[in-house]
Structure 1
Amino acid sequence: MVLDASGFELLADGTRVGRRRVLSPADVAFLHDVAARYAQAVYRGGDMSAFLVLGRELYAWLDGDGGQFAMLLSRARRPVVFEVRTVGSPSEAGWPVGLVRRSRRQRWTRTDWGWRSWRRRRRGVTTWTMRRRRRRSWGQIGDIAYDRGELDEAFRIRREVQLPVYERLGDIRAAAIAWGNIADIAYQRGELDEALRIRREVQLPVYERLGDIRAAAIAWGNIADIAHRRGELDEALRIRREVQLPVYERLGDTRSTAITWGKIADIAHQRGDHDTAATLRQRSLELYQHLGDLDGIANASCGLARIDLDRDDHPSAIPRLADALQIVTQLQQPDGIAVVGYTLGQLLLAAGHAEAAEVLTASADAAAEAGLTDIVHAINDLLPQLDQDTRSDRHAT
């Protein structure tokens, strides 16, 4: 695969397969998105299923112009090795994806990773692999404990199990990630000073020493979250605008850019600057739409609806919430259906729409599934009013 700033072509044994394909803005955004998700999966120790999903998306994208990729595979007489090479010398800003350098002499040999993996499976799992899997398993157990709210157990795993292993191995990146997980626990406990200390004094220096500007930007975002929670909105805004955004825009990370604009919009909204908040939320929404990110579209639509509600503009909020509800229903997110449906159902009920009962009933079912008992009780309190409105409609009919 020969790639430059304007397009790419596929070669099989030095012969071009199919036509040269020009990179559109949508292609560039897609490649940035895949690269970002790949990096996140690596950092988080994702299992093989995460990489298979990315692989299928790349396969579909490569074959999206009429079968040249399938033609390459049909001609292959040995396992396909992808090699990204430069045609010219484009600037760093011109590259849509990170460059992977691979020796042109390297081919499918007994020293290649695929062969070694096959040999390892043949003779059994090595001690190194078992240790690696155990470390990953402990990380997954820590994630589960954190998601369940078992913060003490999650803290014990991070501090007493994972960190000593990473420090003994000298794996400073993995240790920094584990420290970040500990900072998350401190943040959830309300121990903001400790969370801030870890982010500033432990994580950031590691990422800066490694030259990992994306990870550093994410850590700065965590610091901004702490400042926001403390009510230090000027500092949070400074970090978002002056530290995070320039990095994400330089990397071409559209999703992270959209998220950051949304957080800046939250600050403007909290300050009562509804016009600025709406403008920034709309910008975030357009980026999500460009990516086709349904979850992001739903979140941005809800953000715009909250601004509409603060303006008492219910007619504008209702269709935004309806769009968001349709998306979270499609994505099968019970918590999203519960929260969005409850808000939308109340607005429909107040406006006398017949759909209110259906929306609130679905919201109550989703809330029960997600364990959101407050919403279930609140909707149950509305049921008498729903029954009364239904009887009134039948009487009028």
Structure 2
Amino acid sequence: MRPQDSHQEKLKTRDLGTSSGNYDYSRNLDSINTMSSSFISEDSLPDAASEKELGNEYFKQKKFREAIDCYSRSIALSPSAVAYANRAMAYIKIKSFQEAEDDCTEALNLDDRYIKAYSRRATARKELGKLKESIEDAEFALRLEPQNQEIKKQYTEAKSLYDKTILQKASGAQENSVQEMRKVGKLDTKVNGQSIQPVSSSAQITEMTAVQDHTKRNNTTRNPEVKASVQELASRAASRVKAVAAEKITPPNSAYQFEVSWRGFSGDNARQTSLLKAISPSALPQIFKNALTVPILLDIIKCVATFFVEEMDLAVNYLENLTRVPRFDTLIMFLSSSDNADLVKIWDEVFHNEATPFEYAEKLDNLHTKYCLKR
């Protein structure tokens, strides 16, 4: 009997069995499910690789949104650095630069040496106006692949744009300063609403003593005011330090969250310190995984140096756990000579000076080797 005939016989038998009104349909449910699944060919099921390839085809046809859909399915099936970076490129094409930056960051979480992810994130960040971060990405990519002409061009363009922006800001600040000086000059030509008239030389001599006496009296009156002003500023500064210390900062769960918060607190050492202290030292490897960058690493070390003397045990714990971050060795290997010089200076002047207690000095000696400091 042919297999097809056998299958037909089974169907007939099942039909006869169903003539009973008391037939238990649930009894053969598993068999039905097994049979129905057998009709679905494994070849017809989508997989991450085929979805990625289909996305590439759509990208070549400039159907970027369709490509994004395919890359998204590929990522859902099996996340990969290539799929994230490809989707980032498609996002760049439709000018969704924030999504592109996020995808590149995810790609680098999976593969911290993926050149295209650095390059595409540099592009996205440049378009978002994050010029300093764009330069950092291009610079790090060049350390991995120094002869890459495309990335050299990216670096040059971002650096040129950044320098131009700095010059424009400086020029604007200077112009504002000149305008303020002019305003002050105009205001100084009047006292209590009365115009100041030129004074003859004889009158100048006559009035000199009176002016000196007035100045002395004026200074005597203003000195307490100046002291009060300084005390007020000191009081405000102290209040701010207390307020920042008491401020509740949510600990970040990922390198991306940390970097966003850290850069948001740029120039505010108190808040950056509070952000770092919100993280347990032992959590650093889990948070950063493969996403720690040289600038952030150096920033953290500099931050730790600010509270090293007051909280030595905590500071050493941070330094120890930084060495356990997966890409720490790679970052240290690619430190520039200037970065290494900064690190040596911090180490010698703060972490390992004559005042460092013996129990910490021994730990810091061991860490010195891991940080590969070159003198």
In the superposition, the TM-score normalised over structure 2's length comes to 0.29
Pair member with larger Rg: 2
In the superposition, the TM-score normalised over structure 1's length comes to 0.28
